[in-house]
Amino acid sequence: MAKDKYDFIQELLENNKLSSSQRERVLLLVKEEIRKEGLIGKSLAAIGKSLADRLAIIEELLNVKDNSEENNQDLPIYFDSLHLYKYLVDYNQNPILKSTCHEIDSNELENILEYCKTAEYDFEKHLRKILDAFREHDKKPAPYKVKALIRGYLTGKDFKEIPIKGWTTDKISHNWSSPELLQWSLNNKGVPPNVDKGLMMNLKKRGYQLSKPFITENGNGIYSFSHLVLHFKCLFHIRSDNSLKNIIRNYNRARGWEAQIDFEISDSTFPNNIEIFTNVDKLLQAYKGIIELVLEQSNGQMVKPVVRLSLKVKGDSVEFSIFHVGSVYGKTIEDTTRRLGNKYRGLIKNQINGLCKFYLQADFEAGGSYRVGIWDQPDLWKKIKPIPATRLDKPIGGVEHIFEIVKSNI
Amino acid sequence: MIYLIDDKKIRQERDYKWTDDRFENFKSLIKTIYTLDELQEKDTDIFQEGNVILYHESFLDSTNIANEASDKRRRLDNFAKNTNSYLALFSGSKNTRYFDGNVANLPVSVLYSNLETFIQKAKGGDINLKFLLFGENPLITKELDDKIDSALFNTINEKATKAGNINLFIEPAERNINDPLTGSVIQTIFSDTDQEFTQKINEWLCEKSYDNIFIPLCFGNTLLDYNGLRLACHIRCSPSKNQTTRIFIYGVVGADYLIHNECFNILKTKNTSLISFSKKAIGESALKPKEHFSKVELPSELAKLKLDVPQNYYDNHAIANEWGIYQMARNANINIKDIDGFDFEKISSLYFKWLIAKNNLNEPISEEQQKQQREYLIKIEGPKIIGKIELPKTKG
């Protein structure tokens, strides 16, 4: 990939030898650069937004410090989660990249032969096209973590081109650029590694079988490259057969939470048929953070806490609610809107920024019920202080955390 | 009416053999939609209560309304749930069969594999998406499918046994156990036809002798066919260096599930056993001491099989005639391939091979018989048949 000046800036900012003040200085220069680009006749709005997004990525990546408020020094710049949605949907529908998240059938094989300009399937050429398409696709703004996930899956390297031990929390070492896969392809000319069953029966040749099958963190067995490809798809596309409800249930079970918490999950309030394109791994980590809060809150109590989980479509978004029934929020509304606690700060920094909007809706111990947008717009906790809160007409009967995830194009 | 909405016609035809001609046979029951224009043109007909919609999940992804694809799928889902209709979403990115009321999610291979069964059931008024997910016998197939998944999962952390290349390990094209016997010869079986079995036996078993052959119990289009039993019968009935080699059939069910299978009795013959679907069972079996089993014993062992006349024969007279021709030619020391009009594919069928093997006709006729024939030839023209011709009993 040809490096542009923003790649250079990104690399510069990642240099550990740079002090905070030097980084800030570089950032100021970047801002100046963006301003200049906006003046050279192109669409100011479009270019300005795109570059600002890239700046946000860089800052998110580096957790650039903002000294404007001592309390919120290390909060990232707000990153709109719409970017994540678009990045993943476009990946899924990309004419070339879609072959990395679906099995390859005769139709897809025809497409590949056409864009690779070969008469027979050639893995090396296909891979080159995939990597080219990814480099182009990766110019779109998205949270660094999802970019790292896909880069790891396709290249086995990080963005500095350094080989990684594995991608996802499972640290999966198999990827599209594995030497083992390349070697297999040389011995299996004409066969896509993630061949679909029908095409496999036609060719009478199987796709790439993993030399050592393994079990993912969510308990699935991965035996072949096709399994790996379908597993990868499950990491960003939630749908009926990979529903959030089932994912959450498995996640709760794997962590023994079902013994500690009474989960209320009903089919009517948590339907299976809501599709979401998101970073499932990060969403689960954010969910884990909230459940840990519930467990902390309930520590020492005789009665098991009750957590009601629900999922609903709201306009162009989906709201995933984690409702701790019967609980009250321990802080005052003044404190809540003025100081971001360490737990929320960690969640925002590590999971939520760029993934979803984040709301708190609760009955407060000191009285009153409020809805607070903890992370739902730019410049919160910096310029505006206290952050806005809406008083609710009546108590809601507990403490509710809501992740608002973009589900379709706005 | 069933509406099949799939933009991938090449896949439909090449990979799953659903050609226009095949659809034509069911035209009163199923209609195909390949483009967005067709879909929009026929949407009033399609979205009617009671219809069945089989929808390729990525159908809209290459259209100008790709950004609405996700929303459209949810609307389809709601339509099915709210109007007593049926929806099956299929995709090349699904590997599980999932069923929720009148909405199903399934891999594309499963859809096309079970489509004919589903249509036939619908023709008889029995519309049930379970037939689409699991075929003719949904309950037992699902049970079998789950058992295989679970058994396979358990093999991940099992260790392989060092067993060497005196073992032939035959594995199915899908859901195979990874490396159960280190050093063994591994072959993959893709199809479940008699012709394929005959071809593979010729390829794999005629040059090298093995101590053990491991065969999967379930493979091919229908798990419930327990094709491993049939393949074992083929090996016993086909002349090769391994006709009497010890066979282990590894599977997830016991003999009680197999008792009604046509080839069940192969398990009553010498040197053929059913074992568990696990590396441990396979490893232990490979190391068991060999038992003597000679070719002389084969006819009597094979007589234990009770095979049915293949359904593609017109009636029992037809096979009796073919069988008669075969025996006459053999007794006359004439190569069957020199007989005009004889259907040579029949010789690949298990039934025919079994008749030959249990009557010990794979061996050439004796020198004495050949000598007598030469003497007779001087006296009369044409072949003179000496010896027993066994015709199977005919119906009625």
Residue of chain B with shortest Cα separation from A199:
B15
H/E stretch holding A50? helix A44-62
For the CA atoms of A139, A143, A147, A150, the dihedral, rounded to the nearest 10 degrees, stands at -130
Task: Give chain A's largest Cα–Cα span.
Answer: 73
B105 and A277 within 8 Å at the Cβ level: the answer is no
B94 touches chain A (CB under 8 A): yes
Q: Is A245 on the interface with B (CB under 8 A)?
A: no
Q: In this complex, is the C-beta atom of A197 within 8 Å of any C-beta atom belonging to chain B?
A: yes
Q: Answer yes or no: do A105 and B11 touch at CB < 8 A.
A: yes
Flag whether residue A77 sits within 8 Å of chain B, measured between CB atoms: no
Same domain, A228 and A337: no
Q: Which residue has the tokens 């009163």?
A: B28
State the amino acid at position B285 in one-letter form.
Answer: S
Closest chain A residue to the Cα of B151, Cα to Cα = A221
Residue of A nearest to B13 (CA): A106
Contact A319, A358 (CB under 8 A): no
Nearest to residue A83, comparing CAs of A133, A138, A14, A134?
A: A138
A148 to chain B, closest Cα gap in Å = 22
CATH hierarchy code of domain B150-302: 3.40.50
Last-in-domain residue among A212, A234, A256: A234
Residue that is last in its domain, among A206, A234, A262:
A234
User: Residue A236 carries which DSSP code?
Assistant: T
| Domain assignments of chain B as residue spans, ordered by start | 2-136, 150-302, 316-379
Residues of A within 8 A of B59 (CB-CB) are: none
Q: State the DSSP H helix or E strand holding residue B330, giving kind and residue range, or none if neither.
A: helix B316-331
Assigned domain for A82 exists: no
Q: Which residues of chain B does A108 touch, with a Cβ-Cβ cutoff of 8 Å?
A: 11, 92
- Strand pairing category for A237-238 and A262-264: unpaired
| Closest to B327 (Cα-Cα) out of B302, B305, B352, B300 | B352
Residue of chain A nearest B96, judged by CA positions: A241
- Classify residue A316: in a domain, yes or no: yes
Q: What is the pTM of this model?
A: 0.82
**Cα–Cα distance, A104 to A112 (Å, whole number):** 9
Q: Are A42 and A316 in contact (CB under 8 A)?
A: no
Q: Could you give the 3-state DSSP secondary structure of residue A226? A: helix
With b for 16 or more beta-carbon neighbours within 10 A and e for fewer, the A8-29 pattern comes to ebbeebeeeeeeeeebeebbee
Asked if the Cβ–Cβ distance from A209 to B176 is below 8 Å, we say yes
Does residue A200 sit at the B interface (CB-CB below 8 Å)? yes
Name the residue among A231, A376, A348 with its Cα closest to residue A285.
A348
Nearest Cα residue to B220 out of B245, B244, B247, B200: B200
Question: Same structural domain for residues A288 and A398?
Answer: yes
Which residues numbered 295-314 in A keep a CB inside 8 Å of some CB on B?
A: 313
Residues of chain B with Cβ-Cβ distance to A230 below 8 Å are: 93-95
Q: Is residue A343 part of a domain?
A: yes
Pairwise CA distance, residues B37 & B59, whole Å? 12
Q: Is A86 within a domain?
A: no
| Count of positions (residues) in chain A | 410
Whether A393 maps to a domain, the answer reads yes
Instruction: Give the Å distances, CA to CA, from B385 to A314, B365, B374.
Output: 86, 11, 12
A216 phi/psi in degrees, rounded to 5: -80, 170
Tens digits of pLDDT across chain B (396 residues) = 999 999 999 999 999 999 999 999 999 999 999 999 999 899 889 988 899 999 999 898 888 888 888 778 888 888 888 888 999 999 988 888 888 889 999 999 999 999 999 999 999 999 999 999 999 999 999 999 999 999 999 999 999 999 887 999 999 999 999 999 999 999 999 988 899 999 999 999 999 999 999 999 999 888 999 999 999 999 999 999 999 999 999 999 999 999 999 999 999 999 999 999 999 999 999 999 988 899 899 999 999 999 887 776 656 666 777 777 777 777 766 776 776 766 667 777 898 889 888 887 777 767 777 777 767 666 766 555 555 455 555 443
Instruction: Decide if A78 is inside a domain.
Output: no
Host domain of residue A21: 5-65
Same domain, yes or no, for A349 and A212? no
Interface ipTM above 0.90: no
Q: Please report, in tens digits, the pLDDT of each residue of chain A (410 residues total).
A: 344 555 556 565 555 555 555 555 566 566 566 555 544 334 434 444 455 455 555 555 554 444 334 456 678 899 999 999 999 999 999 999 999 999 999 999 999 999 999 999 999 999 999 999 999 999 999 999 999 999 999 999 999 999 999 998 888 999 999 999 999 999 999 999 999 999 999 999 999 999 999 999 878 899 999 999 999 999 999 998 899 999 999 999 989 999 999 999 999 999 988 999 999 999 999 999 999 999 998 888 888 999 999 999 998 899 999 999 999 999 999 999 988 888 999 999 999 999 999 999 999 988 899 999 999 998 888 766 788 899 999 999 999 999 999 887 64
Tell me the chain A residues in contact with residue B156 when contact means C-beta distances shorter than 8 Å: 213-215, 221
DSSP type of residue A99: G
A226–B8 CB contact, under 8 Å: no
Instruction: Tally C-beta pairs within 8 A across A and B.
Output: 126
Cα distance from A322 to chain B (closest Cα, Å)?
Answer: 23
For residue A158, report the phi and psi dihedrals to the nearest 5 degrees: -90, -175
Helix (H, G, I), strand (E, B) or coil at B359: coil
**A226 contacts on B by Cβ (under 8 Å):** 95
Concatenated DSSP letters of B190-258? ---SHHHHHHHHHHHSSSS--SEEEEESS-SS-GGG-HHHHHHHHHHHS-STTTTSEEEEEESS-HHHH
Is residue A83 situated within a structural domain?
Answer: no
B2-136: what fold? Answer: Rossmann fold (3.40.50)
A214 and B156 in contact by Cβ < 8 A? Answer: yes
Give the residue from A179, A199, A234 where a domain finishes: A234
Residues 219-238 of A with CB under 8 A from B: 221, 223, 226-227, 229-230, 233, 237
Tokens linked to A200: 């496999």
* Cα gap A17→B179, rounded to integer Å: 49
Amino acid (1-letter code) at residue A120: E
Q: Would you call B92 and A103 a contact, using CB atoms and an 8 Å cutoff?
A: yes
Distance CA A329, CA A185 (A): 58
Q: Is residue A361 part of a domain?
A: yes
Q: Do B67 and A409 touch (CB under 8 A)?
A: yes
